[in-house]
Amino acid sequence: MTELSTLSRSIAGRTALITGCASGMGRATAKLFAAEGAHVAATDIHGEGVRETVAEIEAAGREAAAWTLDVGDAGAIRRVVDEAAARYGGLDILVNNAGISRGGPIDADEYEERWQETVNVLLTAHQRMIRAALPYLRQSDSPRIVNIASTEGLGATAMNSAYSAAKTGVIGLTRGLAVELGREGITVNCICPGPIRTAMTARIPEEHKQIYARRRTALRRYGDPEEVAHGTLHLCLPASSFITGVALPVDGGLTVRRA
């Protein structure tokens, strides 16, 4: 086999810091990365949820540790990143996954407040996590950054403009840093999940999920968090060394379907 392929498709032994691991795509990513042999530093604002994720990983005989982290808190970010790097002796992979959804029309009284919160958690936190992790990533031989954007960063749904703006910003941040950090061999990519069964979409009734998926996606179904996690894993492989600055839709064909 070694004669046929030279690049590694394994993240075994590498350290991945993943935010938003209490549920959904973050939890699925943490479990997949642990299953692939990575050391997972899992964080979430919901301490109990992230500890459950870690417990599941440990029960499977894999390695992970939990931190309670509000990514809206700049000081906490630096502390947790430093602790995680100290625990595992560095960082190879950063997955900025934590997110919130705060919709509402542009002329809503509470728009300003929602905008601030949305941009802070969905966009500002990404650059802060990256800035905090950068010194450690620079020490890695295959440094990888994956930001979770959204198909809402490629198109938009009405009355969701703050979210859409922040996700579009994540794509811009990804591209900017891909160019900026490229000379150091750090790849920066983002994933644009579409309709996925997560906490964010939990309140959409199953019947409505099916109507939406049948009308809008090529695959005619909602996706599962693990399907997004595999997209993220792909971008984190040592073998994905020449892929940078991309925004990869993992959306069942939502963005390509016209009718």
Partner 1 sequence: MSLPAEATVFAPSTSDRDQLAVLHPSTDLPALRRDGPLVIEQGKGIRVRDEQGREYIEGMAGLWCTALGYGVEELADAAAEQIRKLSFSHLFAGRSHEPAVALAEKLREMAPIANAKAFFGTSGSDANDTQVKLVWYCNNALGRPEKKKIISRRRGYHGVSLAAGSMTGLPTFHKSFDLPLPQFRHVTCPHHYRDAEPGETEAEFTARLAAELDELICAEGPETVAAFIAEPVLGAGGVVVPPEGYHPAIQEVLDEHDVLLIDDEVICGFGRLGTPFGAEAMDMKPDTVSVAKALSSAYLPISAVLVPDGMVDVIVEAGERWGVFGHGFTYTGHPVCAAVALRALELMEERNLFAHAARVGRYFQAGLRRFAGHPLVGEARGVGLIGACELVADKETRAAFPVHRGAGAYCQDRCLDHGLILRALGDTLAFCPPLIVTESDIDEILERFGRGLDETLAWVEAGGGAS
| Residues near partner 1, by CB under 8 A | 101-105, 107-108, 150, 152, 157-160, 163, 194-196, 200-201, 203-204, 208-209, 211-212, 215-216, 222
The DSSP code sequence of 9-72 is: ---TT-EEEES-TTSHHHHHHHHHHHHTT-EEEEEES-HHHHHHHHHHHHHTT--EEEEE--TT
Q: What tokens does 187 get?
A: 């790849």
Q: Which is catalytic among the residues 136, 163, 212, 222?
A: 163
> Token pair 């705060």 is at which residue?
102
Nearer to partner 1, 92 or 251 (CB): 251
Nearer to partner 1, 47 or 103 (CB): 103
Q: Does the annotation mark 136 as catalytic?
A: no
Nearer to partner 1, 69 or 162 (CB): 162
Find the shortest distance in angstroms from Cβ 152 to partner 1: 6
Asked whether 255 and 154 are in contact (CB, 8 A), the reply is: yes
The helix/strand/coil state of 106 is coil
Distance of CA 76 to the CA centre of its chain: 19
Find the shortest distance in angstroms from Cβ 203 to partner 1: 7
β-bridge pairing 64-68 and 93-96: unpaired
Nearer to partner 1, 42 or 191 (CB): 191
Find the shortest distance in angstroms from Cβ 168 to partner 1: 14
Find the shortest distance in angstroms from Cβ 155 to partner 1: 11
What is the set of active-site residues? Answer: 163
